Amino acid sequence: MVTTTAVEAELLEIAGSVPDPELPVLTLQELGVLRAVHLRGADSVEVELTPTYTGCPAVEAMSLDIERVLHAHGMREVTVRKVLLPAWSTDDITAEGRRKLREFGIAPPRTTEHDSGPVALELGRTRTLADEGAPEPDPIRCPHCGSTDTELLSRFSSTACKALRRCLACREPFDHFKEL
């Protein structure tokens, strides 16, 4: 078992406070992409970062921002290493991150239970109400009014990890952070 020193824990907290470049309402720690910080010397550190998906265009910006804050904290050498295993999952988003997404107007992803194998892609229904048959066990709630009466407008929104939905109760559109 790998133990974390007090300095590594402090540096992890500092790096974790960096805002996500695509969702600045969340920090990298709340998004769950920051895995570890390892001291490699008195002023040298290696950071492990797991992208939300392998082609995520924000990884470079995340890495530069992590380097900037750790340099400002006295680290002369900062290496950010992409770690793909274990793969990131929306289950890695913290409860605080989910709360912030909701307050920002983005429906947070529902929690899932993944094994370590491939993630199946399920397109699902476009409506979340019972008029299409049995209601979903965990419907997507509108972040504005809380209604579960929502419909899918587009499987992709401003980023590949979000879908565009509309609430049929308050009529407001909203992003839904897709489960992965």
pLDDT at 127: 58
- Extract the tokens encoding 97: 């991150």
Could you tell me if residue 1 is inside a domain? no
Tell which of 41, 63, 82 closes a domain: 82
Provide the number of structural domains found in the chain: 2
How far apart are the C-alpha atoms of 180 and 54, rounded to whole Å? 13
pLDDT of residue 135 exceeding 70: no
Share of the chain above pLDDT 70, in %: 85
103-117: average pLDDT:
78
Could you tell me if residue 87 is inside a domain? no
| Contact indicator for 107, 99 with CB cutoff of 8 Å | no
Range(s) of the domain holding residue 60: 6-82
Could you tell me if residue 70 is inside a domain? yes
